[in-house]
Amino acid sequence: MIYLDYCATTPMSETSLTIYTKAAKEFFGNPSSLHDFGTTANQLLDQSRIEISNIINGEKEGVYFTSGGSESNYLSLLSIARGNKHRGNHIITTNIEHPSVLNTLELLKEEGFTISFIPVNSYGEVELDRLAQEITGETFLVSIGHANSELGTIQNMEAIGQLLKDRDILFHSDCVQTFGKLPIDVKAFNLSAVTMSAHKIYGPKGVGAVYLSPKLSWKATVPNSSQEKGFRQGTGNVPGIVAFTSAALEVFEGQDFELQRFQKLQKLFLDSIDPAKIILEGHPTKRLAHHLCLRVKGIEGQYVMLECNRRGIAISTGSACKVGQTSPPRSMTETGKTLDEAREMIRISFGKETTEEHIRYTVNVLNEIIAQF
């Protein structure tokens, strides 16, 4: 079976798995305990905070570990909003954000916050003038993901961050799809908050992180929580966190090499298809190198996915967090596609095991599927 759904999840790396097992066996102490077992576990967490913060050019004091990307978005948005009511009640986002962002903002709307959704262009990009037009005197927070998980389009983070810094507005970004794939610099991007996940970078599932600028005011979602400096409840997942950190360091070290390799694989795929029958969606160049958002013209994506699976290829029809929903991907309709066109979407995403042979075989399979119609 050829796995081409790395944006949904990745297998744990051998290094991450080895470290997870070692930590689970030898460093099982509760990091909140005051005895030596607890102290050792807490020291591992502190070292992990240093390593994660270094990758994004932040400070270790700003790193908080969570159960994954969705909880990271939930906790960070609630904590920031509730801790900054003195700054205003208006939040700006887009309709193509991850469900964990949109669902959390719906909750904040019930609490009295005003949520505005700025449109994206046909590529899925946030245009600065549209963002600037939406800002009011009550705007205190903007949440825009670094790259969309379905379209693959990368946002202009430096430009957005500079605009928000000039207006003294907080900037939250879901970086789950870009952490370990693209450079993330919280200072260059003027980011107030970043969310990350382990299982997208060959780490374990059920582990993630939030970076909150140490200058940021925030309010705990549950009063009197003692773990993660009050940011969340629950005993720290020491084996998962150190395995996450190990995976992050490993992908960070090979980031430039893999980026170039993915670019070659992406070019090979696009050069091998008939663009009249298989259409690339999202931005043609400002996109994730390991990601392809495609429409097989006239054929529903669900059918293409099932036929690929029957022929030994695993792809997806969009975000794994939306499985079971009957509506087509919102990112497609937000970029101007009809409902029928949106239903044609498939997503192919590469990983460290993806080869040129995998790409050629996949193109051949897609051509076979198209030839049936």
Distance, CA of 79 to CA of 297 (rounded, Å)? 44
For this structure, is 175 an active site residue? no
Q: Are the beta carbons of 280 and 292 closer than 8 angstroms? A: yes
Q: Is the pLDDT of residue 179 over 90?
A: yes
Report residue 18 as tokens. Answer: 């080895």
Catalytic choice (175, 293, 308, 321): 321
Please provide the average confidence, as pLDDT, over all residues in the chain: 94
What ranges make up the beta strands (E) of the chain?
2-3, 63-66, 90-94, 114-118, 139-143, 170-174, 193-197, 208-212, 278-281, 291-296, 313-314, 345-349
Q: Which helix (H) or strand (E) holds 265?
A: helix 255-272
Q: Which residues pair with 20 in a beta bridge?
A: none
User: Domains in the chain, start-ordered, CATH in brackets?
Assistant: 2-9+255-371 (3.90.1150.10), 14-252 (3.40.640.10)
* Dihedral angle of Cα 232, 42, 252, 8, to the nearest 10 degrees: -40
Q: What is the reported pTM?
A: 0.95
Closest by CA to 189, choosing from 152, 223, 155, is 155
75-85 pLDDT per residue, tens: 999 999 999 99
Q: pLDDT tens for residues 287-297?
A: 999 999 999 99
Answer whether 145's CB lies under 8 Å from 177's CB.
yes
Q: What is the pLDDT of residues 298-351, one digit of tens each?
A: 999 999 999 999 999 999 996 555 555 567 889 999 999 999 999 999 999 999
